[in-house]
Amino acid sequence: MLSAGALGALELTSIGLGIEAADAVLKRAAVEMVLSRPICPGKYFLCFTGRVEDVRHALEAGLERGGDAVADSLYLTNPHTALFPALMQTTETEGMEALGIVETFSMCSALEAADRAAKRARVSLVEIRMAIMLAGKSYVTLTGTLSAVRDAVEEAAAAARERGALVSAVVIPHPHPDLKGFVG
Protein backbone atom coordinates (compact mmCIF):
# COMPACT_ATOMS: atom_id res chain seq x y z
CA MET A 1 0.00 0.00 0.00
CA LEU A 2 3.03 2.31 0.18
CA SER A 3 2.24 3.78 -3.23
CA ALA A 4 -1.06 5.18 -1.98
CA GLY A 5 -2.61 8.52 -2.85
CA ALA A 6 -1.64 10.46 0.27
CA LEU A 7 0.76 10.58 3.17
CA GLY A 8 0.10 12.00 6.61
CA ALA A 9 2.61 12.68 9.37
CA LEU A 10 2.56 14.05 12.89
CA GLU A 11 5.35 15.07 15.22
CA LEU A 12 4.36 15.41 18.87
CA THR A 13 6.23 16.71 21.91
CA SER A 14 4.94 13.84 24.08
CA ILE A 15 5.67 10.16 23.59
CA GLY A 16 2.50 9.06 25.40
CA LEU A 17 0.29 11.45 23.45
CA GLY A 18 2.10 10.38 20.27
CA ILE A 19 1.18 6.76 20.85
CA GLU A 20 -2.37 7.79 21.68
CA ALA A 21 -2.52 9.86 18.46
CA ALA A 22 -1.22 6.86 16.47
CA ASP A 23 -4.04 4.78 17.92
CA ALA A 24 -6.60 7.45 16.96
CA VAL A 25 -5.19 7.63 13.41
CA LEU A 26 -5.49 3.87 12.93
CA LYS A 27 -8.99 3.73 14.40
CA ARG A 28 -10.36 6.62 12.32
CA ALA A 29 -9.64 5.39 8.79
CA ALA A 30 -8.13 2.60 6.70
CA VAL A 31 -4.51 3.77 6.61
CA GLU A 32 -1.19 1.93 6.77
CA MET A 33 1.27 3.05 9.44
CA VAL A 34 4.70 3.50 7.85
CA LEU A 35 6.50 4.66 11.01
CA SER A 36 5.42 5.19 14.59
CA ARG A 37 8.23 5.74 17.10
CA PRO A 38 9.92 8.04 19.59
CA ILE A 39 12.47 10.47 18.17
CA CYS A 40 14.81 12.99 19.77
CA PRO A 41 14.50 15.08 21.86
CA GLY A 42 11.69 13.20 23.60
CA LYS A 43 9.23 13.60 20.72
CA TYR A 44 7.08 11.07 18.88
CA PHE A 45 6.75 10.75 15.10
CA LEU A 46 4.14 8.90 13.10
CA CYS A 47 3.74 8.61 9.36
CA PHE A 48 0.94 6.83 7.52
CA THR A 49 -0.36 6.40 4.01
CA GLY A 50 -3.54 5.42 2.22
CA ARG A 51 -6.29 6.82 0.05
CA VAL A 52 -6.55 10.62 0.03
CA GLU A 53 -9.76 10.88 2.06
CA ASP A 54 -8.68 8.20 4.53
CA VAL A 55 -5.39 9.96 5.22
CA ARG A 56 -7.14 13.30 5.64
CA HIS A 57 -9.61 11.84 8.15
CA ALA A 58 -6.88 9.95 10.01
CA LEU A 59 -4.73 13.09 10.22
CA GLU A 60 -7.68 15.03 11.65
CA ALA A 61 -8.05 12.35 14.34
CA GLY A 62 -4.34 12.52 15.17
CA LEU A 63 -4.42 16.32 15.37
CA GLU A 64 -7.48 16.21 17.65
CA ARG A 65 -5.95 13.59 19.95
CA GLY A 66 -2.51 15.22 19.97
CA GLY A 67 -3.89 18.68 20.77
CA ASP A 68 -1.28 21.10 22.11
CA ALA A 69 1.41 18.40 21.92
CA VAL A 70 1.43 18.55 18.09
CA ALA A 71 4.73 20.16 17.11
CA ASP A 72 4.36 19.69 13.34
CA SER A 73 2.15 17.93 10.83
CA LEU A 74 2.10 17.15 7.14
CA TYR A 75 -0.53 16.16 4.60
CA LEU A 76 0.78 15.25 1.14
CA THR A 77 -1.36 14.12 -1.74
CA ASN A 78 0.35 12.09 -4.45
CA PRO A 79 3.64 11.65 -2.54
CA HIS A 80 6.64 10.83 -4.72
CA THR A 81 7.29 7.08 -4.70
CA ALA A 82 10.96 7.65 -3.81
CA LEU A 83 9.92 8.92 -0.35
CA PHE A 84 9.19 5.48 1.04
CA PRO A 85 12.51 3.74 0.26
CA ALA A 86 14.42 6.84 1.43
CA LEU A 87 12.40 6.95 4.65
CA MET A 88 13.01 3.25 5.26
CA GLN A 89 16.69 3.73 4.29
CA THR A 90 16.57 1.07 1.58
CA THR A 91 17.60 3.18 -1.44
CA GLU A 92 20.49 1.76 -3.43
CA THR A 93 22.76 4.29 -5.16
CA GLU A 94 25.57 3.87 -7.65
CA GLY A 95 28.19 6.61 -8.06
CA MET A 96 27.54 10.18 -7.02
CA GLU A 97 28.14 13.03 -9.45
CA ALA A 98 26.80 15.40 -6.82
CA LEU A 99 25.44 15.09 -3.30
CA GLY A 100 22.75 17.31 -1.81
CA ILE A 101 21.90 17.62 1.87
CA VAL A 102 18.94 19.54 3.29
CA GLU A 103 18.82 19.76 7.09
CA THR A 104 15.63 20.73 8.91
CA PHE A 105 14.28 21.27 12.41
CA SER A 106 11.50 18.68 12.03
CA MET A 107 10.78 15.36 10.40
CA CYS A 108 7.60 16.65 8.75
CA SER A 109 9.56 19.45 7.08
CA ALA A 110 12.21 16.95 5.91
CA LEU A 111 9.50 14.77 4.33
CA GLU A 112 7.96 17.73 2.52
CA ALA A 113 11.39 18.93 1.38
CA ALA A 114 12.23 15.45 0.04
CA ASP A 115 8.91 15.20 -1.79
CA ARG A 116 9.34 18.58 -3.46
CA ALA A 117 12.98 17.84 -4.36
CA ALA A 118 12.08 14.52 -6.00
CA LYS A 119 9.23 16.14 -7.93
CA ARG A 120 11.36 19.10 -9.04
CA ALA A 121 14.40 17.35 -10.52
CA ARG A 122 15.57 13.94 -11.62
CA VAL A 123 17.45 12.93 -8.48
CA SER A 124 17.66 9.86 -6.29
CA LEU A 125 16.58 10.33 -2.70
CA VAL A 126 19.24 8.49 -0.73
CA GLU A 127 17.87 8.89 2.77
CA ILE A 128 15.42 10.81 4.92
CA ARG A 129 17.01 10.62 8.37
CA MET A 130 14.87 11.13 11.46
CA ALA A 131 15.74 13.00 14.57
CA ILE A 132 17.32 10.08 16.38
CA MET A 133 20.52 11.18 18.10
CA LEU A 134 20.29 14.44 16.10
CA ALA A 135 18.97 16.83 18.78
CA GLY A 136 15.59 16.99 17.07
CA LYS A 137 16.85 17.70 13.56
CA SER A 138 16.25 15.67 10.42
CA TYR A 139 17.90 15.67 7.03
CA VAL A 140 17.50 14.50 3.45
CA THR A 141 20.33 13.33 1.22
CA LEU A 142 19.97 13.04 -2.53
CA THR A 143 22.18 12.47 -5.52
CA GLY A 144 22.15 12.96 -9.28
CA THR A 145 23.73 15.25 -11.83
CA LEU A 146 25.09 18.49 -10.45
CA SER A 147 22.41 20.62 -12.10
CA ALA A 148 19.59 18.30 -10.95
CA VAL A 149 20.93 18.22 -7.38
CA ARG A 150 21.19 22.02 -7.33
CA ASP A 151 17.59 22.36 -8.55
CA ALA A 152 16.31 19.75 -6.10
CA VAL A 153 18.18 21.23 -3.11
CA GLU A 154 16.91 24.70 -4.02
CA GLU A 155 13.31 23.42 -4.07
CA ALA A 156 13.73 21.39 -0.87
CA ALA A 157 15.31 24.35 0.93
CA ALA A 158 12.42 26.58 -0.17
CA ALA A 159 9.93 24.06 1.25
CA ALA A 160 11.74 23.93 4.60
CA ARG A 161 12.19 27.71 4.66
CA GLU A 162 8.44 28.22 4.10
CA ARG A 163 7.83 26.12 7.23
CA GLY A 164 10.47 28.04 9.20
CA ALA A 165 12.44 24.81 9.55
CA LEU A 166 15.52 25.16 7.32
CA VAL A 167 18.84 24.58 9.08
CA SER A 168 21.14 24.18 6.06
CA ALA A 169 21.18 23.30 2.37
CA VAL A 170 24.40 21.97 0.85
CA VAL A 171 25.45 20.78 -2.60
CA ILE A 172 28.75 18.92 -2.93
CA PRO A 173 29.95 18.53 -6.52
CA HIS A 174 31.92 15.33 -7.16
CA PRO A 175 32.00 14.07 -3.55
CA HIS A 176 34.98 11.95 -2.60
CA PRO A 177 34.18 8.25 -3.24
CA ASP A 178 34.92 7.37 0.41
CA LEU A 179 32.11 9.69 1.52
CA LYS A 180 29.45 7.37 0.03
CA GLY A 181 29.76 4.90 2.90
CA PHE A 182 28.82 7.63 5.38
CA VAL A 183 25.77 9.20 3.75
CA GLY A 184 23.19 6.48 3.41
- Burial letters 94-133, b for 16+ CB under 10 A, else e: eebebbbbbbbbbbbbbbbbbbbbbebbebbbbbbbbbee
What is the model's pTM? 0.89
User: How does pLDDT run across 41-84, given as a tens digit for each residue?
Assistant: 788 999 999 999 999 999 999 999 999 999 999 999 999 988 88
Rounded mean pLDDT, 157-173: 95
Question: Domains plus CATH for the chain?
Answer: 6-77 (3.30.70.1710), 83-182 (3.30.70.1710)
Note whether 120 and 126 are within 8 A (CB). Answer: no
Instruction: Using the Cα atoms of residue 105, residue 172, residue 142 and residue 114 in order, give the sign of their dihedral.
Output: positive
